[in-house]
Amino acid sequence: MDASQLALVFPGQGSQKVGMLAELGESYKLVKDTFAEASEALSYDMWDLIQNGDQQSLNLTETTQPVLLTASVAVWRLWCEQGGLRPSLLAGHSLGEFSALVCAGALEFSDAVRLVRARGQYMQTAVPVGEGAMAAVLGVDDAKIIQICAEAAIKGGVVEAVNFNSPGQVVIAGQVAAVDVAIEMLKAAGAKRAMPLPVSAPFHTSLMKPAGDKLAVALADIVVNAPSIPVVHNVHGKTESDPVVIKSLLVEQIFSAVKWVDCVETMVAAGISNTIECGPGKVLSGLNKRINKSLSCNNIDSPASLADALEATK
């Protein structure tokens, strides 16, 4: 395969689970070494948490974010160590964008681990627990969802379309009452499903602006370099080489919609025919295939899937 056809993608929150990467960690020292490096930055044993902890602890946003970033970076390092093809583009979903920037050499790993833990704390405290909600909507086109959210907001408060994950799959979020109103309106408009998600805050809404302000302060002290591999950003679905602009996009991303469909369409337009998902689960692989059926999608979270991905990109 030609390197220009390959993109590596990095998952966001929701892909974490107890026991993730266990086989990879037993088979490849580099995986545990990467987790040890992150554990040193955060002063707790991250590998022990993901192998022996409980799902509830793992699902705390301030824990989930560094854990998933570390898992993705470990898989990326393993891919490189095993002689995997260097991709021509990288992208990540929400938190995964930080993983992509680490792998592109734009962010130092230890800086990013601390940064995303803080990001998780900022996002969790921006809206008190119980006041925000998110819901997945299936079977309604994007424009109609945006329109219904605007109408529901008049009745119930803030509700916005926040994740454009694939055609016919959009996540909305906002204040509980407004999300409830929007769910009923979407069902009336013919949604196949409109169901609340088990999350603790309305991520990627304008309610997250205070978290963005805090992240901007934290980012001021972080060195960001021009990426050695272009990264497609969630906010606008384009690549960016200017470190100052990358910082501003990371801040904006917290309170802006994740335009994953745009990200994937940008990659396909650039000639990408294969994507490899680095980290636990196959969420992005499933979305990518729905966005463009011509894409060949692999994921890496075990020795077997690593071998498959290496073979698929020869």
Q: Looking at the annotation, which residues are catalytic?
A: 94, 204
Rounded CA separation 134/146 (Å): 14
Cβ burial, residue 66 (10 Å; 0-12/13-18/19+) = buried
Give the up-direction half-sphere exposure of residue 253: CA atoms within 13 A in the CB hemisphere: 26
Q: Which residues contact 11 (CB under 8 A, 6 or more apart)?
A: 68, 72, 92, 93, 96, 277, 278, 279, 280, 281, 283, 284
For residue 93, give the amino acid letter. Answer: H
Rounded CA separation 27/40 (Å): 22
- In angstroms, the Cα distances linking 70 to 36, 153, 171 are 10, 37, 25
For residue 247, give the amino acid letter. Answer: K
How many residues make up the chain in this entry? 314
Is 103 in contact with 72 (CB distance < 8 Å)? yes
Is 191 in contact with 140 (CB distance < 8 Å)? yes
Q: Which residues contact 193 (CB under 8 A, 6 or more apart)?
A: 136, 137, 138, 139
- Count CB-CB contacts under 10 A for residue 55: 10
Alpha helices in 189-235 (DSSP H): 209-220
Rounded CA separation 24/74 (Å): 10
